[in-house]
Amino acid sequence: MSCENSLGLSRVLEAAGRLSASEPRPPAVSERRPRRFWEFVFNPSGLPIEAEERDFLAARLDRLIDREGLEDPELALMPGYITRGNALHFMLETNAELYRIKDRLEQQREEERMRQEL
């Protein structure tokens, strides 16, 4: 994983903890399922993402839920749970893989633009 990618994720997680009352708040980590928080972390701008990226993130979140035993819909996560230990390591791996997917998709788009120019 590149240092830049892990620093970007760290900045998002840090910023989520220090927003002022007037700024829009990220979804609480203690939601029944951390899906909205997950989306905020990996797509903080809220801009549309490619279907492959969305599918990848959904699959990784489902894997995290299974892996960490978060299947119970009544289970509330303790603050900081998803940003420590195994959950954090899993998020950093997900971030690195997401950027590999983004890079590959961008390369494919660039190759397509070049083919069209020829």
- Tell me the HSE value of 86 on the side-chain side, using a 13 A CA sphere: 7
> Percent of the chain having pLDDT more than 70?
65
- Write down the pTM of the prediction: 0.65
Evaluate if residue 109 carries a pLDDT over 50. yes
Residue 97, C-beta contacts closer than 8 angstroms, at least 6 positions apart? 56, 60
Q: pLDDT of 77-106, one tens digit each?
A: 677 777 788 888 998 999 999 999 999 999
Tokens of 25: 């708040």
Query: Residue 9: its pLDDT value, please?
Result: 54
The number of distinct structural domains making up the chain is: 1
Residue 41, C-beta contacts closer than 8 angstroms, at least 6 positions apart? 9, 12, 13, 16, 26, 91
Q: CA–CA separation, 56 vs 101, rounded Å? A: 9
For residue 45, the enclosing domain spans 3-117
